[in-house]
């Protein structure tokens, strides 16, 4: 068993998934299957951690309204949580998944957070770190009213406590977190936005960079070397939660090993778990049998 994985979600969501025969713009589309659940990247990470038999805690902002659909959704999922009321409402994201495997995402930006939210979420994380955490995953977007430096501040707090931390954020938040001592998990587009090589990011203060590339696998750049992993097979399905599943797998390796990570093994797990998430219709779920089958078949090569 590892220490508990704490995930931080500053801009949570109610994730709605529509299964349709085909998405035809400008026409009426019948939706034979609808699934709705508490979401946001950190929630997806926590759900995958739980599915792999480990403990997680969702630390997130939520609505100040009396009717809290997000809190109820976490309770229904059976995911431990600590929520900071700071939003007028929790946003919705819509994934429209067609029978041909294509997925169309509709994502609300979310609502501004109260001015005190940053201080309160930092204080809550401080308490959770003091109580004991194996690793922390900070993921997803930042509310428009919140300083994009907040994820970096959270990451530095983890570093002060000697707890490994993953920053799976984007834009200004990713630029701010680049030198925070976190393991960065950008996709190809996010890495290009940084205008810096993974090697430069590691030299500049990132603990490591794990760059994900969908069906092409992932690359880990660390102070000890660089590795690339390719999936055992390319799969089609719903890729919405693939990156979150990858973060969950990596967090568990960090929690178990600290600074002595077996990066080839971790990277194989990251790629296999990500692919296993694509097979499931809803983000936050994985096909555990496929994951177990693919981990030993994933090709990992050292490139530096």
Which domains does the chain show, CATH number per domain? 41-86+113-302 (3.40.1190.20)
- pLDDT of amino acid 300: 97
What lies within 8 Å, CB to CB, of 212 at 6+ separation is 185, 186, 187, 188, 218, 242, 243, 246, 270, 274
Number of H helices, E strands in the chain: 10, 14
Percent of the chain with pLDDT over 90: 84
30: pLDDT strictly greater than 90 = yes
Residue 112 pLDDT exceeds 90? yes
* 227, β-bridge pairs: 220, 302
CB 109 within 8 A of CB 10: no
pLDDT of residue 152: 98
- Residues facing 210 on adjacent strands: 220
Q: Is the pLDDT of residue 2 over 90?
A: no
> What pLDDT band is residue 100 in, cutting at 50, 70 and 90?
confident
Read off φ and ψ for residue 115, nearest 5 degrees.
Answer: -60, -30
Mean pLDDT on 30-46: 94
Pair 121, 61: CB distance under 8 Å: yes
For residue 281, pLDDT beyond 90: no
Across the range 70-88, mean pLDDT stands at 97
Measured from the Cβ of residue 77, the count of other Cβ atoms closer than 10 Å reads 18
Q: What band does 223 get if pLDDT is binned at 50, 70 and 90?
A: very high
The pLDDT of residue 258: 67
**Residue 55 confidence class, pLDDT cut points 50, 70, 90:** very high
pLDDT of 44 above 60 = yes
Tokens (6 digits) for 226: 């660089």
Confidence label for 259 from pLDDT (cuts 50, 70 and 90) = low
Kindly state the average pLDDT of the residues 18-36: 92
By CB neighbour count within 10 A (0-12 exposed, 13-18 middle, 19+ buried), where does 153 fall?
A: middle
| Section 125-152 average pLDDT | 96
Per-residue model confidence (pLDDT) at position 282: 82
Mean local confidence (pLDDT), 177-197: 92
**Is residue 1 scored above 70 in pLDDT?**
no
Whole-number pLDDT of residue 118: 97
């Amino acid at each position: 068993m590892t220490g508990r994985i704490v995930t931080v979600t500053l801009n949570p969501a109610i994730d709605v998934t529509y299964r349709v025969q085909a998405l035809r713009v400008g026409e009426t589309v019948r939706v034979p299957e609808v699934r709705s659940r508490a979401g946001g990247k950190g929630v997806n990470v926590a759900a995958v951690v739980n599915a792999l038999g480990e403990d997680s805690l969702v630390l997130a902002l939520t609505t100040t309204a009396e009717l809290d659909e997000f809190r109820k959704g976490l309770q229904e999922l059976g995911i431990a949580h600590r929520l900071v009321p700071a939003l007028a409402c929790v946003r919705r994201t819509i994934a429209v998944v067609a029978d041909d495997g294509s997925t169309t995402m509709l994502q609300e930006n979310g609502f501004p957070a109260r001015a005190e939210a940053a201080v309160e979420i930092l204080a809550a994380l401080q308490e959770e770190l003091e109580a004991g955490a194996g690793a922390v995953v900070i993921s997803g977007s930042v509310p428009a009213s919140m300083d994009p430096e907040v994820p970096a501040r959270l990451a530095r707090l983890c570093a002060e406590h000697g707890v490994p931390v993953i920053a799976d954020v984007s834009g200004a938040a990713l630029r701010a977190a680049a030198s925070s001592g976190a393991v960065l998990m950008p996709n190809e587009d996010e890495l290009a936005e940084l205008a810096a090589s993974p090697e430069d990011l590691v030299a500049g203060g990132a603990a490591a960079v794990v760059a994900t590339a969908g069906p092409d696998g992932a690359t880990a750049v660390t102070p000890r070397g660089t590795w690339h992993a390719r999936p055992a097979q390319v799969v089609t399905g719903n890729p919405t939660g693939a990156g979150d599943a990858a973060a969950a797998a990596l967090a568990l390796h960090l929690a178990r090993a600290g600074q002595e990570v077996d990066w080839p093994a971790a990277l194989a797990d990251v790629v296999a778990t990500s692919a296993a998430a694509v097979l499931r219709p809803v983000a936050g779920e994985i096909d555990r049998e496929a994951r177990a089958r693919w981990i030993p078949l994933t090709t990992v090569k050292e490139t530096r």
